[in-house]
Amino acid sequence: MEYFLIIISAIFVNNIVLAQFLGICPYLGVSNKLSTASGMSMAVCFVITLATLVTYLINQYLLVPFQLEFLQTIAFILVIAALVQMVEIVLKKVSPSLYQALGIFLPLITTNCAVLGVAITVVTKEFTFGLPSHMLNLGEALVYAFATSLGYGLAMVIFAGIREHLAMNDVPKAFKGVPIALVSVGILALAFMGFSGMVK
Amino acid sequence: MSKNLKLITEGLVKNNPTFVLLLGMCPTLATTTSAINGLSMGLATLFVLVLSNMAISLIAPVVPDKVHIPVYIVVIATFVTLLQLLMQAYTPGMYETLGLFIPLIVVNCIVLGRAEAFANKHGVLESACDGLGVGLGFTCSLTVLGLVREILGSGSAFGFNFIGGNDGMLAFVMAPGAFLCLGYLMVLFNKFFKKD
Amino acid sequence: MAAVSNLKNMVTVLGLTCLLCSAVLGGAYALTKDPIDAAAKAKTDKAVGAVLPAFDETSYESVEADGKSYNYYKAVKGGETVGYAVESTVVGFGGPLSLMVGVTPAGVVYNTSVLSHSETPGLGAKCNTDAKFMAQWEGFDPSAKILSVKKDGGDVDAITASTITSRAYTEAVKNAVNAVKKLEEKDHE
């Protein structure tokens, strides 16, 4: 039941793009076409889950015992940068087809603040999910990270669909491109606000 | 000196990071619930931007090409952590308000972007001016966006309430208002400043 | 412009950068540690001071009540206990809602203050700013009034359009009052 609440909360109630404002740059950047949007979402999903696993363990077994929590930011970003490179190398060797699908998005992910944002959030913030407030354990953290990235994918795919239609419409000159996109995301966020308070 | 002055003013309008370059969208949207919050986030980014630009312009000549990104990220992360420690010590209230978005300055594309596009091929003074200009441009955009959202959403400006109650249009303080406000501000900016 | 990318160069530069950066940060951490601790202490001191009558000194302890553990500050003036400041956390509308609740030994709420919350800005977040809502807790006597919101038949005025936050706030106060009741019972055994 608790895992179910985590998933609903991370995908709908606290959607990472529409409620937490993380990962907006790639969100606006690659959501022009449905195919690139879904490719990017899958790559983000993969990296967020893996990065959360590694940074959680590093925090738990290296930083906390030695009271080095103040190095969190620098340690996490280095780990993420190295991880992304490694994923790229491994994918290239092991699964060339997957590499072709995700490859071009991987270098972009290092500077996607959604990855670092989720990694820091799960080790610093207390959550409730229907229980008294507590720090997440490894299992919960992984489910949270995975569900969050699903939420990212959902927001991305919906938005790409909208943008494909927008591209064919005649919008005023000053609105062309990003401004009209932002206004549409605003309306999308308004719709997602209907979920707020559903899971505590 | 006039050249450096030009670098500073360019960051404000012609190379405005928010409205022209469309960089650093996450903190722009997330921290501008009020003018003060927007201003603080802008200044925090300015601090990191100027220092990292200066440090990177100094070390760039000795950094081998293949490892330049990791080296730059370490340098930027150092200044961000420095900022975190200083804010925790001297402005704990603001540190709590801006929360997650202080460590996330590390992945703000403006900072790495300026390092890559400018600081690694210019001198210390020029890089500092460039950082200052872009940082000020970012600060101005955030303050304006924060001000508009605060006026519409809470009926106050810089914490000064002028409608005599606390009932504004709440949506503008929440997530949808951030996107809508930025979208419409961008339209106005395109209308008045973009010549093409 | 850049140096040659051979293994020796790359390792030296990366290693040196990391070394230098961690040295700078270690130094900065040592320098800012005391101000950071002082800032955190000032924050709790302020919260404790705001919810209790004047006192000479406090001691930090914890107590079990209703199956939960509560940390509290016991305030003493002239050898007599003048009140307890209890840290009480409940689940609000958007996540954890933490309060510092000051309760006199007689079980009357002296005052309350919000330690942290994740309520909706402009709605539930008003529990920290709405003067009318905050003022009603001063001197709230649970033996004379009912500790639940008016909608549920109690005497607590809820924040407009934020019943869930108001309920949670009330629950946090109630838990704190119960914890103090437990404490007083223990003292008189």
DSSP A2-64: HHHHHHHIIIIIT-TTTTT--SHHHHHHSTTSHHHHHHHHHHHHHHHHHHHHHHHHHIIIIIT
Residue B166 confidence class, pLDDT cut points 50, 70, 90: low
Ramachandran region, residue C161 (left: φ > 0; alpha: ψ -120 to 50; beta: rest): left
ipTM confidence = 0.86
Residue A154 confidence class, pLDDT cut points 50, 70, 90: very high
pLDDT digits (tens, 9 = 90+) for B107-160: 888 898 889 888 988 999 999 999 999 999 999 999 999 999 999 888 888 878
Residue C189 confidence class, pLDDT cut points 50, 70, 90: low
Higher pLDDT, C83 or B164: C83
Residue A200 has a pLDDT of: 58
Contact flag C25-B81 (C-beta cutoff 8 Å): yes
Which of A26-40, A62-76, A131-145 shows the lowest mean pLDDT across its residues?
A26-40
Rounded Cα distance between B101 and B103, Å, is 6
Q: Check whether B59 has a pLDDT greater than 80.
A: yes
Rounded Cα distance between C123 and C127, Å, is 8
Neighbours of A191 (CB within 10 A): 11
Contact flag A24-B103 (C-beta cutoff 8 Å): no
Q: Check whether A158 has a pLDDT greater than 50.
A: yes
B-to-C residue pairs, Cβ atoms closer than 8 angstroms: 86
Residue C1 confidence class, pLDDT cut points 50, 70, 90: very low
Residue A68 has a pLDDT of: 87
Longest dimension (CA), chain A: 59
Q: Check whether B18 has a pLDDT greater than 80.
A: yes
Q: Once rounded to an integer, what is the mean pLDDT over residues B184-194?
A: 86
Residue A88 has a pLDDT of: 85
Q: Could you give the 3-state DSSP secondary structure of residue B183?
A: helix
H-helix or E-strand spanning residue C12: helix C7-51
Q: Which residues contact A11 (CB under 8 A, 6 or more apart)?
A: A147, A148, A150, A151, A154
Q: Which residues of C touch A130 (CB under 8 A)?
A: 91
Q: Once rounded to an integer, what is the mean pLDDT over residues C158-180?
A: 90
Q: Check whether A32 has a pLDDT greater than 70.
A: yes
Interface check C140 vs A, CB under 8 A: no
Touching subunits of A (3+ CB pairs, under 8 Å) are B, C
Structure-block tokens of residue B176: 């949808």
Q: Are C161 and C127 in contact (CB under 8 A)?
A: no
Rounded Cα distance between A45 and C105, Å, is 54
Neighbours of C153 (CB within 10 A): 8
Of residues A70, A126, A130, nearest to C96 (C-beta): A126
**Distance in Å from the first CA to the final CA of chain B:** 30
Residue B178 has a pLDDT of: 92
Residue C122 has a pLDDT of: 75
Longest dimension (CA), chain C: 81
Contact flag A133-C96 (C-beta cutoff 8 Å): yes
Residue A146 confidence class, pLDDT cut points 50, 70, 90: very high
Q: Once rounded to an integer, what is the mean pLDDT over residues C97-124?
A: 87
Residue B164 has a pLDDT of: 65
Rounded Cα distance between B44 and A24, Å, is 20
Q: Are C99 and C113 in contact (CB under 8 A)?
A: yes
Q: Once rounded to an integer, what is the mean pLDDT over residues B10-23?
A: 82
Residue C2 has a pLDDT of: 57
How many angstroms away from the CA of C137 is the closest CA of chain B? 21
Residue C31 confidence class, pLDDT cut points 50, 70, 90: very high
Q: Are A92 and A100 in contact (CB under 8 A)?
A: no
Residues in chain C: 189
